[in-house]
Amino acid sequence: MLLIRFCEESIAARYHTGKKMRCPTHLCTGQEAVPAAAGQALRSDDFVVSTHRAHGHYLGKGGDLNKMIAEIYGKKSGCSGGWGGSMHLVDRSVGFIGSTAIVAGTIPVGVGLGLSIKLKNTDQISCVFLGDAATEEGVFYESVNFAVLKKLPVLFICENNLYSVYSPLKVRQPEDRSITSMVQGLGCPAINGNGNDAIESYEKILKAVTSIRNGNGPVFLEFATYRWREHCGPDFDNHIGYRTEEEFEAWKMKDPIEAFEQKILLDNIIDKRMIEELKAGTQAKIDNAFKLADLAEFPDFCDQTWFSEVNG
């Protein structure tokens, strides 16, 4: 969680200087618990597909920090060879099959990966990250239906942060209908949880992973959470008026990292000095990743070999 938080905050702090990051970035500050928990519950050979807000999912899955920052800088050493930028992360070495900017675009890809696992008869899992707005796309229903019908090893993780850009859920979906119940209606086991509670998220994801690995078919998890920064970009946008300062402050009080830190301090799992060391070490790694990205070369955009390399 610290790696994700500090990484996102370091991107935000540097974004406006030097024009080094030329791609749009959708930061997940405030939403770190679910990606971190999923990364802990999944195996490195499990597959993950993700969305436009992909940094946490990639780092959580064991993605390489240096390769991610280099990708955001558009450099050849980036995980997508510098071709993709923030929203198009690919790294087969950690099972991160890809993120895309098209809302719900990776859902059928993740279900297809689930079908490939079933056909190859391995015990991997395909994990599909999606936002609340992706449940409004037609392909979501086709994909869940197919996964249920074929009993595919697919874990759907919906991070419900209440908004699609500036539109709150209540202008997009019937107010009295929960996403979890709607998915249950499609015949898919579905539960919801507090996406700002790292331990609860981990336990729920692990339980789902165990059930899927045991051959019981797909599971859908909906986690309530909240993005702190603007939809796209490094700044804050509460002043626009689509959400209130009070709502934002109330969610900031539910900071997943602060809550986890308090818990492990209280339980004597870690002491304050260890936390400070962890924080300093994490920030140092991130600062170094930015330094490396800055020094790295840009790709030769006439050279297509990266595509053949990444596609095996």
Binding range to Mg ion, per CB under 5 A, among 139-147, 157-165, 218-226, 289-297? 157-165
Binds ligand TPP by CB under 6 A, chosen from 25, 106, 126, 161: 161
Residue 102 C-beta: closest distance to ligand TPP, Å: 5
Binds ligand TPP by CB under 6 A, chosen from 13, 102, 274, 284: 102
Binds Mg ion by CB under 5 A, chosen from 95, 131, 153, 195: 131
Asked whether position 79 contacts ligand TPP by CB under 6 A, the answer is no
Binds ligand TPP by CB under 6 A, chosen from 27, 90, 128, 133: 133
Q: Rounded to an integer, what distance in angstroms lies between the CA atom of residue 106 and that of residue 161?
A: 19
Asked whether position 139 contacts ligand TPP by CB under 6 A, the answer is no
| 165 interacts with, out of ligand TPP, Mg ion, none, CB within 5 to 8 A per kind | ligand TPP
> How many positions of this chain bind Mg ion (CB under 5 A)?
4
Q: Which is nearer to ligand TPP, 190 or 296 (CB)?
A: 190
| 101 interacts with, out of ligand TPP, Mg ion, none, CB within 5 to 8 A per kind | ligand TPP
Count how many Cα atoms sit within 13 Å of the Cα of residue 104 in the half-sphere of its side chain. 14
Asked whether position 161 contacts Mg ion by CB under 5 A, the answer is yes
| 52 interacts with, out of ligand TPP, Mg ion, none, CB within 5 to 8 A per kind | ligand TPP
Asked whether position 46 contacts Mg ion by CB under 5 A, the answer is no
Of 37, 59, 82, 132, the closest CA to residue 305 belongs to: 82
Q: Rounded to an integer, what distance in angstroms lies between the CA atom of residue 92 and that of residue 90?
A: 6
User: Which residue in the block uniquely carries the two structure tokens 């395909």?
Assistant: 126
Residues that bind ligand TPP (CB under 6 A): 52-53, 101-103, 131-134, 161, 163-165, 231
